[in-house]
């Protein structure tokens, strides 16, 4: 079975540019999570969706960040405009509710904002 697929794996861009990260969850999973990992703050949840609806976005840092899930098989995390402090590894995870929800993580997108 294909796991959670994230793209791109690496992104380097200049500050002020728009960045879009993409995630394809595991088929049949109905919850999707976006996490960010930095040395300073560790692994923190940004937002999660259940059945394509945002449930908890309390971890989204500020209005520059937005996330969408237009359908059950695709989600995006957008940063506009990007800043150097957004540099981090961004992980997407998915789970199937009702199964005591082990989350399955993708390999992450390593984002560097210059």
Partner 1 sequence: DAKTTQPTSMDCAEGRAANLPCNHSTISGNEYVYWYRQIHSQGPQYIIHGLKNNETNEMASLIITEDRKSSTLILPHATLRDTAVYYCIVRVQGGSEKLVFGKGTKLTVNP
Instruction: Give the residues lining the site for partner 1 (CB under 8 A).
Output: 4, 31, 33, 42-45, 48, 50, 55-56, 91, 93, 95, 97, 100-108
Min dist CB 20 to partner 1, Å, is: 19
CB of 3 to partner 1, least distance (A): 9
Q: Quote the CA–CA distance of 63 and 37 in Å, as a whole number.
A: 19
Q: Which is nearer to partner 1, 82 or 95 (CB)?
A: 95
Contacts of 77 (CB under 8 A, 6+ apart): 20, 21, 23, 34, 46, 47, 65, 66, 67, 90, 92
User: Which residue, 61 or 81, has its beta carbon nearer to partner 1?
Assistant: 61
User: What is the nearest approach in angstroms of partner 1 to the Cβ of residue 107?
Assistant: 6
Question: In this complex, which beta carbon is closest to partner 1, that of residue 86 or of residue 90?
Answer: 90
| Pairing verdict, β 31-38 and 42-50 | antiparallel
Cα(5)–Cα(63) distance, rounded to whole angstroms?
Answer: 26
The minimum distance between CB 16 and partner 1, in angstroms, equals 28
For 90, the 3-state DSSP assignment is strand
Residue 18 or 50: the one with the smaller Cβ distance to partner 1 is: 50
């Amino acid at each position: 079975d294909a796991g959670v697929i994230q793209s791109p794996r690496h992104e380097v861009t200049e500050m002020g540019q728009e960045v879009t990260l993409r995630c394809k969850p595991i088929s049949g999973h109905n919850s999707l999570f976006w996490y960010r990992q930095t040395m300073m703050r560790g692994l923190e949840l940004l937002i999660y969706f259940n059945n394509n609806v945002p449930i908890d976005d309390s971890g989204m840092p500020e209005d520059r960040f937005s996330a969408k899930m237009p359908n059950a098989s695709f989600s995006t995390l957008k940063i506009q405009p990007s800043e150097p402090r957004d540099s981090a590894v961004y992980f997407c995870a998915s789970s199937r509710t009702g199964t005591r929800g082990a989350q399955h993580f993708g390999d992450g997108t390593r984002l560097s904002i210059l």
